[in-house]
Structure 1
């Protein structure tokens, strides 16, 4: 089963505020007081982008377009959060992250396409650390939050759990 996430991670309070201010996706609680909401189902974004001939996405990213960056930049002036994207299948794939911390310029990180290993310095692990989360012993930050069990946020932000782990 592919691993496809495109969403916003932050504290429960921050993610709830972002959900209220922008789009009303269901909030999914993670470990350590963090939460995630889906921005949109990636396939939906891809089809919309192709159909509407929307501007290109940010280099290295899968779905973030200039108009979405603008929304995130405005929110990031007062709220700390990360936007993440994953697209993995069969152990290889791509992940990206953008970090928004008030008082700082956004940081955009993209992993080389179809990386075989996800390391401690991967974009998403780095973004989670920037939000103040330290990995639990024997885990990386991604697994510490429980993100490895989420395969897709679905079109409505619905959680799909992989029970094969």
Structure 2
């Protein structure tokens, strides 16, 4: 099974305020009052006035993102970070192989990262996305890591997050459905 993520994550209210006037912004609700903004080519063009550029090479430590974070795009995200930390997260997995990368802005400048991992030889808490989420203020909870704690596992790709946001689903939507199903099964 594959997994693909290209998104901005920050405090839900911060993202609502910053994207309220954008035509191509769709926010997906996460736990702990965070939200996810899927990064699509249309969104990048709306934010920067130019089409996005993508690296032709596989991401690595020197070039951690498939999406080229142009100066215009990083200026927008850095500007948003004046109201609180903002992260750009990227991941791609297929058949157990893949990578994840993350960077965090705060106060108008990069405050953490960018970090890349394609080996995952360190503890889960040190993986780039988990570490970035902690930098945003994610708190530990009953889930295995910050990624699952916020609910980043509930959709598998950008299209899923767009549908999630358009339907105004919570990160607990699938858990709620499972609880409802279990309740019906035990009542029957």
TM-score by length of 2: 0.67
On the 8 A contact 1:92/1:116 being kept in 2, the answer is no
Higher helix share: 2
In structure 2, relative to structure 1, the CA distance for the partners of 1:117 and 1:159 (3 Å cut) is farther
Partner of 1:80 in structure 2?
85
In structure 2, relative to structure 1, the CA distance for the partners of 1:74 and 1:118 (3 Å cut) is same
Partner of 2:184 in structure 1?
none
Displacement of 1:87 in angstroms is 0.6
In structure 2, relative to structure 1, the CA distance for the partners of 1:70 and 1:128 (3 Å cut) is same
Gaps of 5+ in 2: 46-50, 57-61, 166-170, 175-188
Gaps of 5+ in 1: none
**Highest CA radius of gyration, 1 or 2?**
2
2:155 is aligned with 1:144: no
2:35 is aligned with 1:35: yes
Partner of 1:7 in structure 2?
7
On the 8 A contact 1:86/1:96 being kept in 2, the answer is yes
Q: 2:138 aligned to 102, 110, 133, which one? A: 133
Corresponding pairs, count: 153
In structure 2, relative to structure 1, the CA distance for the partners of 1:93 and 1:23 (3 Å cut) is farther
Moved over 4 A (4+): 114-118
